[in-house]
């Protein structure tokens, strides 16, 4: 019985670790740098931002994962939504990819793609990794 519980715990842990999240928590970077990273990670560039400047909607791309293909008028299209959460450091960033289907002249939301969201999250992390640690001396300065 005990071996069965240990085996079950190992399997459940493996499943939880294997499911990659589409969120990055506790980022201690300046918000302007996170905005540049969101612009970099948005496929085909940023289409629009929210009024508070913390949510970024990308241009439309193919739902099959071709970020370079323009899918503005195709039957199925996808776009990414990157949101910076928190009013001060540390910030959290969420990644979503919404898939839409055209019916007539309108598009309706038909689902999400966590696989594409993880790819965009990886682009975001790559941008963060390229940044030198000592770049924002004044913004990162702590007196005590």
pTM of the model: 0.78
Cα 141 to the chain's mean position, in Å? 28
Q: Identify the structural domains of the chain with CATH numbers, from first to last.
A: 22-131 (3.30.530.50)
pLDDT in tens, the chain (144 residues): 666 555 455 555 444 443 457 999 999 998 999 999 999 999 999 999 999 999 999 999 999 988 988 999 999 999 999 999 999 889 999 999 999 999 999 999 999 999 999 999 999 999 999 876 655 555 555 555
First to last CA, the chain: 54
Q: Are 98 and 77 in contact (CB under 8 A)?
A: no
DSSP state of 70: B
pLDDT, residue 111, reads 95
């Amino acid at each position: 019985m005990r071996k069965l519980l240990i085996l079950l715990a190992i399997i459940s842990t493996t499943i939880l670790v294997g499911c990659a999240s589409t969120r990055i928590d506790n980022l201690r970077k300046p918000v302007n740098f996170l905005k540049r990273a969101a612009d970099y990670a948005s496929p085909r560039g940023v289409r629009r931002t929210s009024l508070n400047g913390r949510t970024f909607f990308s241009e439309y791309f193919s739902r099959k994962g071709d970020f370079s293909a323009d899918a503005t008028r195709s039957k199925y299209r996808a776009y990414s939504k990157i949101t910076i959460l928190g009013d001060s450091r540390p910030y959290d960033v969420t990644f979503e990819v919404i898939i839409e289907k055209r019916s007539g002249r309108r598009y309706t939301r038909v689902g999400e793609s966590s696989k594409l969201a993880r790819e965009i999250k990886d682009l975001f992390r790559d941008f963060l990794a390229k940044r030198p640690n000592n770049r924002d001396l004044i913004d990162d300065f702590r007196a005590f």
